[in-house]
């Protein structure tokens, strides 16, 4: 639980505070009850997915999802990692979209866009080369079997 608070909720809270401080947190007029409920549903789903991924990193991988902290000792290919290589990014993205919809916040949409640009750069330029160095052929085989971004069934050779 501490790892989840430290590596998922804390950065999300910092992003929200910075956006509010920059006065980008103005509200859109179209927010209605249906959009609000969709936002809450995405918040819950994204939170559950991020929590599941964080737990897998701690239990299976024996490390954290934080790229610059105690890295995993074993490659995690269980749970949602069977269908997509970056489910944590899906979870955090769903959290940001859920917050944006439920609060009707323009600033949080900017935060989501920034998050997506960062992830699209970070994963192929830092995370994947690091994983390949640490796990070698096991990781390369995993990459051949599972898509980076779009969920799919594990392809068996």
- Note the Cα 54 to chain centre separation in Å: 10
CA distance 93 to 32: 21
Residue from 121, 3, 8 nearest 61 by CA: 3
Q: Cα torsion for 54, 56, 59, 62, to the nearest 10°?
A: -80
Phi/psi at 53 (5° precision) = -65, -45
3-state secondary structure of 141: helix
**Digits of tens for pLDDT over the chain (157 positions)?**
444 445 555 666 666 666 555 545 455 555 556 677 888 899 999 999 999 998 898 888 887 776 666 678 899 999 999 999 999 999 999 988 998 888 777 777 888 888 899 889 988 888 899 989 999 999 999 999 999 988 876 555 4
Q: Please tell me the total number of residues recorded for the chain in this structure.
A: 157
Can you give the pTM of this predicted structure?
A: 0.75
Annotated domain spans of the chain:
2-145
């Amino acid at each position: 639980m501490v790892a989840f608070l430290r590596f998922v909720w804390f950065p999300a809270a910092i992003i929200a505070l910075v956006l509010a401080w920059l006065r980008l947190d103005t509200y859109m007029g179209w927010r209605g009850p249906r959009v609000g409920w969709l936002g809450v549903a995405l918040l819950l789903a994204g939170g559950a997915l991020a929590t599941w991924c964080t737990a897998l990193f701690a239990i299976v991988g024996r490390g954290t999802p934080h790229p610059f902290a105690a890295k995993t000792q074993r490659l995690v290919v269980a749970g949602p990692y069977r269908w997509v290589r970056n489910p944590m990014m899906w979870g955090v993205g769903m959290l940001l979209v859920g917050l944006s919809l439920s609060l009707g916040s323009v600033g949080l949409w900017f935060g989501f866009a920034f998050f997506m640009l960062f992830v699209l750069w970070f994963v192929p330029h830092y995370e994947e080369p690091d994983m390949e160095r640490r796990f070698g052929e096991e990781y390369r085989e995993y990459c051949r079997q599972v898509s980076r971004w779009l969920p799919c069934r594990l392809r068996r050779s």
